[in-house]
Structure 1
Amino acid sequence: MINFFSETWLLWLLLLTGGSLFWASRNSQYFHYVFNRFLMALVALLSVSIIVFSLMEVLPGDCAEKWIAYKSTQGEMITQADIDAERARMGLDQPLPVRWGEWVTGLTLKGDLGFSCSKRQSVNLALGDRFWLSFMFCIAGLVLAYVIAVPFGILSAYVLNKPWVDHNPQHGSLKRLLNTLGLGLAKISDVMLRIVSYLGLALPNFLLALTIILLYVFAGEPTPTGLFSDEWRSEPWFNESGFQWGKLNDFLGHIWLPIFVIGWAATALQLQTVRALVVDESSKLYVDAARARGVDGLSLWAKYPVRHSISPLFNSVGFDFQRVFNDLPIVALVIGLTDAAALLIEALAMTNDQELAAAILFLVALVVISMNFITDIVLAAVDPRVRKSVMGG
């Protein structure tokens, strides 16, 4: 009995979560909304699993043919019977619905992502920590994007209609001079940020990575490709003297490149998004009403347009993660990473490992749907506008 529960832990976790939300939803409109969102997330994941697994079937050839082709390069004589036997051994001779059913059943019951025919081991072992490494890259890139885009996007919107020079006759000459200097710096910063954002949207991430690597080459410095230099790659994190800070420094000297590169385009896009949201909110009637009541300056912007512009931005975190991950495979190949994004390219373009590719794509969809689920229920709890729209009050 203990083995049964331990092997089907994911199913029981889903049932326990769904049962708890259903019980709470009987007397709470908010938890009724959360329970409905939970069911919608499960249906979305089931639909994604069908789409992803079906798309993998469109790829020419299969993993059995790739494996047999490799063996033939080693001098072995391969016949069609050998290919059919290998396909039967891998279960590739079964109809698509049967193979999808076995895959999704193992995934639902115990979190088993299937068997990687190219790695000759389970997908869970083949991925190992690679997916979490890709997840860390994407989250760090998003954090970098939001830390830069939110304050500077607000600044850009704030100075959009501001003059370069303070001509207010009610201000003294010294105050006008100081205000003019401040406005000039803000306007120059806005222009520079807009140029940077346009470059970020126009310049491909892989080209930025190649440019940085070439700059290191021209400077005669070791390129920060991979996760570690040759000196520290095989060294453990701990030795007889304790933690090796040199390996940590070497890791930090390499990890900034993928984070910066994948965060580059996200930062540029979020700068434009934040600026557009705040400018749109600042032109609404409730802001004019607050200004008529005497609220002005940064206090007006912080309480009204900025505050109401954050919710749509927060609700797009899941889609931003997907957009960042879409850029990661090419960047990973250029920089020489061995994370899940690089493994996805290998599975799709080199080995036709359908289950490995499907597992990685499904995990990305799982993260996106989970983030959207979390942001939806958080916004419904803290934003009265969302509560009124989704729960009627």
Structure 2
Amino acid sequence: MLLDTLTSFLTDTWLFWVLLSVGGLLFWKARSSQYFHYILNRYILALITLLLVSGIVFSLMEVLPGDCAEKIMAYKNTQGESISQADIDAERVRLGLDQPMPVRWLSWVSELTLNGDLGYSCAKRQSVNLALGDRFWMSFWFCIAGLFFAYLIAVPFGILSAFVINQPWRDHNPHNSKLQRGVNTLGLTSNKLLDLLLRMVSYLGLALPNFLLALTIILLFVFAGESAPVGLFSDQWKSEPWFGDAGFQTGKLTDFLAHIWLPIFVIGWAATALQQQTVRALVVDESNKLYVEAARARGVSGVALWVKYPVRHSISPLFNSVGFDFQRVFNDLPIVAVVIGLTDAAALLIEALALTNDQELAAAILFLVALVVISMNFITDSVLAAIDPRVRKSVLAGGQ
């Protein structure tokens, strides 16, 4: 009996023990390592930041009109029950809403930390964990795919843009033959035109809202007489299982891929434009530093010079901004989700804030987004401190 009780307690409070175990392991490692001392400090700072974020989110949701008791009683009233103010007050007592806001916040944080419980959704009349289901993971992978698409396009073309920014349109080297100058001029002109095209596209990406891009693509499909790729599946495959009598249904996978590209492309559009400008600026800035000039003086030139020096040293700041890029992409996702007809956590956030006034559900989604951003920043800081000599040197110097 005691063993069952202990097992149940450990199972219900798994999140707390995971956080405690990670902190304990880092503390043990930090006794003999300046690197792990830095990681432990970052871990503690991340937990404190999450605590502050939870307080801010909970406080903002509290200022919205109405509470859970009123919503539950209003729903019962629509079912024909006669509701009085005494019934609403009794419901507030049952839900603990009669307690001061700091007490309720501490209770919410305790349930979240110990049990991973995100609270109760009054509008959905079920726990937030059940209301969210897999929707948050759907939004998470949308954002990750959008960022992957953005980096896949922005990094190489941002480097190319920085590489050709100071190059001429034509080869005027008198030591080259006329044929060689013509071939070189063709390559230089092609690179400059490609750079101009990419910069125009990036400016357009920064100026054109994502939801307008989504509407434009949908209208193009409509004008072409084709079915617009809204949602995740067409009506034919929406209710079909992934595995049928004949096994895995490749038709549903094909239909899914024919729809999933649209949200990934749309939410990655602005991120691509911004990252391309960022990569270009970082590489240009690094290429003008003295160590690059010293490398040129030693005879290093061409692609080898750029890859070994300015490009290599420009990647670290970009890698360190992944968490903030995720937040920026998620900020664009709610309105895009409404336009495209998705049912992920972003669309649920719009519903909770604008339609149902479900403070508990909205607070949970906002907190989860903050959790992902802070976790990504913690991971990138840890990785950079391990692999980047400049960051590692500053970490070791700070630990002395």
- Give the structure-1-normalised TM-score: 0.97
1:264 to 263, 269, 280: 269
Aligned to 1:303: 308
CA deviation digits over 1:150-204, x for unaligned, max 9?
0000000000011111111122222211111111111011001000000000000
Aligned with 2:278 (options 273, 278, 302): 273
Unaligned segments of structure 1, at least 5 residues: none
Q: Distance in 2 between matches of 1:114 and 1:214?
A: 40
Matched ranges for 1:179-194 at <5 A: 179-194=184-199
Structure 1: which 4+ aligned runs deviate by more than 6 Å?
Answer: none
In structure 2, the partner of 1:167 is 172
Q: Do the aligned partners of 1:90 and 1:117 also contact (CA within 8 Å) in 2?
A: no
Q: Separation in 2 of the partners of 1:121 and 1:48? A: 24
Tell me the alpha carbon deviations over residues 300-325 of structure 1, each in whole angstroms, 9 at most, x when there is no partner.
11111100000000000000000000
Shift of 1:65: 2.9
| Alignment match, 2:3 | none
* Secondary structure of 1:266's aligned partner: helix
Supply the AA of the counterpart residue of 1:97.
Answer: P
- Aligned with 2:108 (options 103, 109, 117): 103
Q: Which moved more, 1:220-229 or 1:170-179?
A: 170-179
Preserved contact between residue 34 and residue 395 of structure 2 (Cα < 8 Å)? no
Aligned to 2:386: 381
**Aligned ranges for residues 284-363 of structure 1 at < 5 Å?**
284-363=289-368
For 2:122, the aligned partner's letter is: C
For residues 276 and 119 of structure 1, the distance between their equivalents in structure 2, rounded to whole angstroms, comes to: 47
Contact 1:159-1:190 at 8 Å conserved across structures: yes
What is the distance in 2 between the residues matched to 1:342 and 1:324? 14
2:146 matches 1:141: yes
Equivalent pair of 1:209/1:334 in contact (CA under 8 Å)? yes
Question: Which letter maps to 1:191?
Answer: L
Q: Residue 93 of structure 1: CA displacement?
A: 2.5
Aligned pairs for 1:190-201 within 5 A: 190-201=195-206
For the 8 Å contact 2:35–2:395, the answer to whether it is kept is no
- Indicate conservation of the 8 Å contact 1:66/1:351, yes or no: no
Q: Partner letter of residue 138 of structure 2?
A: L
The aligned residue for residue 232 of structure 1 is 237
1:150 aligns with 155
Say whether the 8 Å CA contact 1:62–1:352 is kept in structure 2: no
Q: Could you tell me how far apart the structure 1 residues matched to 2:11 and 2:223 are?
A: 56
Q: CA deviation at 1:59?
A: 1.2
Contact 2:71 2:122 in 1 (8 A): no
- Deviations along 1:65-99, whole A, 9 cap, x unmatched? 34444454556544323333333333322221121
> Does structure 1 conserve the Cα–Cα contact (< 8 Å) formed by 2:136 and 2:345?
yes
Rounded Cα–Cα distance in structure 2 between residues aligned with 1:86 and 1:220: 54
1:24 to 29, 41, 55: 29
Letter in 1 for 2:397: G
The alignment partner of 2:379 has SS state of helix
Letter in 1 for 2:85: Q
Match of 2:93 among 76, 81, 88: 88
**CA distance in 1: counterparts of 2:350 and 2:282, whole angstroms:** 36
Identity within the alignment, %: 78
Counterpart-to-counterpart distance in 2, 1:296 and 1:251 = 47
| SS of residue paired to 1:224 | coil
Select the residue among 110, 129, 135 that pairs with 1:124.
129
Report if the CA contact (8 A) 1:315-1:372 is conserved: yes
